[in-house]
């Protein structure tokens, strides 16, 4: 990986590299606000109704957990990368609930890199994002490909 403040190119991503990208503490208020707008199920929007569900209380939407991870990815590295977008995300797994007060640590693992076979000057980076709560339990994983420009010749 390049030094802070420099633009990241495809060549800066190394398979096996693990990077902590940030932490976030989920509050009841933000869990409800996100869910009311984007995932309005009672176990995400109504603390009292949530007590009577399988989860036994309010939990964050899995999409909320992913969205926070995306924000941290942009703040940590995508915002300073020669990014050319993404063809998609796959294998999203919500492995455990995220409750009000939980602090989730996010990390990125580079799984694979390869040059694009169809777009000269572009490389693909396959990464796995992991979200781990304050008890060391993995609550979410997802994999996806990012497109990054290749470093220009000197």
DSSP 18-71: EEEEEEEEPPHHHHHHHHHHH---HHHH-HHHHHTSTTSS----HHHHHHHHHH
In a domain, 2, yes or no: no
pLDDT in tens, 37-77: 999 999 999 999 999 999 999 999 999 999 999 999 999 99
Q: How many domains does the chain have?
A: 1
User: Is it the case that residue 4 has pLDDT exceeding 80?
Assistant: no
pLDDT in tens, 8-31: 999 999 999 999 999 999 999 999
Return the number of other C-beta atoms located less than 10 Å from residue 79's C-beta: 10
Range of 74's domain? 10-149
Whole-model pTM over 0.85:
yes
DSSP code for 120: T
Average pLDDT over residues 78-83: 94
- Decide: 98 and 59 in contact? Cβ < 8 Å: yes
In a domain, 3, yes or no: no
CATH number at residue 99: 3.10.129.10
């Amino acid at each position: 990986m390049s030094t802070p403040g420099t633009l990241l190119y495809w060549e800066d991503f190394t398979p096996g590299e693990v990077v902590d990208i940030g932490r976030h503490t989920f509050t009841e208020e933000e869990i409800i606000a996100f869910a009311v707008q984007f995932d309005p199920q009672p176990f995400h929007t109504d603390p009292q109704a949530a007590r009577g569900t399988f989860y036994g209380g309010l939990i964050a939407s899995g999409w909320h957990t992913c969205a926070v991870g995306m924000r941290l990815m942009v703040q940590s590295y995508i915002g300073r990368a020669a990014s050319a977008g993404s063809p998609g995300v796959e294998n999203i797994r919500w492995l455990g609930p995220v409750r009000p007060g939980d602090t989730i640590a996010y990390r990125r693992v580079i799984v694979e890199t390869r040059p694009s076979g169809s777009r000269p000057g572009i490389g693909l980076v396959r990464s796995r994002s992991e979200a781990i709560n304050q008890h060391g339990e993995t609550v979410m994983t997802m994999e996806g490909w990012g497109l990054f420009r290749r470093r220009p010749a000197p």
